[in-house]
Structure 1
Amino acid sequence: MDSELTFKSGLKDVLPTTFGYIGIGLAFGIVGKTSGLSILAILMMSLMVYAGSLQFVIAGMLAANSPILGIVFAGFLINLRFMLMSTSMAQYFKKESLLQNILLGSLLTDETFALGMNKINYTDRKLNPVWLHTANIISYLVWAAASVVGGLIGNLIPDPNRLGVDFALVAMFIGLLYLQVISDRSKKLSLQLSVILFVLVAFYISLMFMSSNFAILLVTVLGCLFGMVLERWK
């Protein structure tokens, strides 16, 4: 990464993350096809829903003939975390118009959010629409294309997990976390590692009592509070 906030820089920064999109997009296309979805339905879901984990859930619920209201409610719960991420990202676009913020937030993903939080370590904690639009749109197009390709080859690969594609996003987030830790010089390494350890333990414990979607929201808030208290105490 560098300190530039241009189209070229956004393209360069987002390209490594697209490998995660390709892996999981292929997996979704395969799952969608085996669940009875057409190639057009797979494409439209990727373009209109554009939420990796949710799309897997929707494909399974459609195959099980679940009611529409149940699918909508599941989507609301699974994607509730984006309210937290969008709120955090919005502070870097206070001078932009409401429409600009809506456009930026509409295509924001876990990956581009993590990418943006890492980028501010190189830009004096600044972002601009050009850079984020580039990252968002490239990710959007790669995801849609990968899901269609997965749908086309869905009958050829009955079990995509045997190829390890289900670990692609996990590996990508590990890489983004590592980059965040080594590049953020505004926080001590001991503080960052303490927060990471707290989040891991808290998430593990919370999974014993609630679903993973609620656990993500709860632990995100708790992790922020823990980090804030720890930083002030030190």
Structure 2
Amino acid sequence: MEEVETDTGYTTFRDGVRSCLPTVLGYLGIGFSFGIVGINSHLNLFEITLMSAIVYGGSSQFVMCGLLLANTSITGIVMTVFLVNLRHLLMSMTASPHFREESLLSNVSVGSLLTDESFAVFSTTVAQEKHFSLRWMEGLNVTAYITWIVATFLGGLVGNFISNPEQFGLDFALTAMFAGLFLTQFEWELSKNTKKSIAVVITVVISLYILLSLVSSSVAVIISALLGCLVGGLAYDK
């Protein structure tokens, strides 16, 4: 009699590491690009690595480099980075109900290390109704965190030999990554309910395009995220 294999879901730290592997190349590519851009923004290798360890936000770190080159005040940099990273609050609020039985420290750890990439993996896992644990989430987040720091460090080393990152399109790397994440995250939903998902996607994209032409990019990110949540909530019929 043949044994029937059962899907136990994602329960261990190692499972989280495995789940993160498909996004590792993205972290390496974007982190490497940031290291090069950081060096060309007059940051040293230690400052680049420390920023990656503390700020840990690809988009906000690229923004910080641009603001530093523009001689923006410290207050302006802090406020802009705060607005750009405010979307992480929405992502953390979405993830927290799944870990309500865990300790406060564990939830803080999950929220602090949550990124766009790891949230995309998390959202896909939830959408596919697969079982997962805190240890899986920790494996996913820690792998991403270490990869990002190492990638930015290596990029900083190479950055001394590249004087014009824009020439190689490195300044566009973050935009390309977000486009890939967007398509990957919605692939599962599109297979289940094509018409509704396409309507949501088109609405969010159009809203983002309009807002970017009316307000600053940092404010547009926040407003577009809120509108996307609103549209998604109204379209969700369960």
* Shorter-chain TM-score tier: 0.7 to 0.9
- Equivalenced residue count is 232
- 1:179 CA displacement: 3.9
Moved more, 53-62 or 198-207: 53-62
Query: Partners of 2:68 and 2:180 in 1: how far apart?
Result: 34
Flag structure 1 segments of 5+ consecutive residues without an equivalent: none
- Do the aligned partners of 1:93 and 1:127 also contact (CA within 8 Å) in 2? no
Q: How far has the Cα of 1:231 moved from its partner?
A: 4.0
Q: Could you list the runs of 5+ residues in structure 2 that have no partner in the other structure?
A: 1-7
Q: Percent identity?
A: 42
Rounded Cα–Cα distance in structure 2 between residues aligned with 1:151 and 1:43: 8
CA deviation string 1:13-36 (max 9, x = no partner) = 211212111111111111111222
* Secondary structure in 1 matching 2:144: helix
Moved more, 100-109 or 51-60: 51-60
Deviation larger for 80-89 or 52-61: 52-61
Q: 1:72 aligns with which of 78, 82, 94?
A: 78
Which of 222, 228, 236 in structure 2 is aligned with 1:217?
222
> What corresponds to 1:153 in structure 2?
158
Partner of 1:48: 54
Indicate the larger mover: 8-17 or 94-103: 8-17
Q: Does the alignment pair 1:205 with 2:224? A: no
Alignment-derived partner of residue 129 in structure 1: 134
Spell out, residue by residue over 1:39-94, the C-alpha distance to the aligned partner (whole angstroms, 9 max, x if none). Answer: 11111111111111211222233344433222211221111111111111111111
Instruction: State the match for 2:38 in structure 1.
Output: 32
Counterpart CA distance in 2 for 1:105 and 1:120 is 16
Aligned-residue offset at 1:220: 2.0
Distance 1:88 1:55, change over 3 A: same
- Identify which range, 205-214 or 105-114, moves more after superposition: 205-214
Cα distance in 1 between the residues matched to 2:142 and 2:210: 36
CA contact (8 A) 1:19 1:168 kept: no
1:108 match: secondary structure: coil
CA distance in 2, matches of 1:203, 1:101: 30
Residue 61 of structure 1 is matched in structure 2 by 67
Give the superposed CA RMSD: 2.5
Do the aligned residues in 2 keep the contact of 1:115 with 1:176 (CA within 8 Å)? no
TM-score by length of 2: 0.86
Deviations 1:93-137 (A, max 9, x none): 111111110011111111111110011133x26442111111111
2:107 paired residue number = 101
> Distance between the aligned counterparts of 2:9 and 2:99, measured in 1?
17
Contact 1:92 1:127 in 2 (8 A): no
**1:192–1:25 Cα change, 3 Å:** same
Of stretches 32-41 and 125-134 in structure 1, the one that deviates more from structure 2 is 125-134
Distance 1:19 1:118, change over 3 A: same
**Bigger mean CA offset, 144-153 vs 179-188:** 179-188
Cα-to-partner distance string for 1:128-180 (whole Å, 9 max, x where unaligned): 21111111111111111111111111122223344444454444444444444
**Cα–Cα, structure 1 residues 212 and 135, in superposed 2: closer, same or farther, change >3 Å?**
same
CA distance in 1, matches of 2:219, 2:91: 15
Other-structure match for 1:229: 234
Name which of structure 1's ranges 162-171 and 36-45 shifts more when overlaid on structure 2. Answer: 162-171
In the alignment, structure 1 residue 192 sits paired with structure 2 residue 206: no
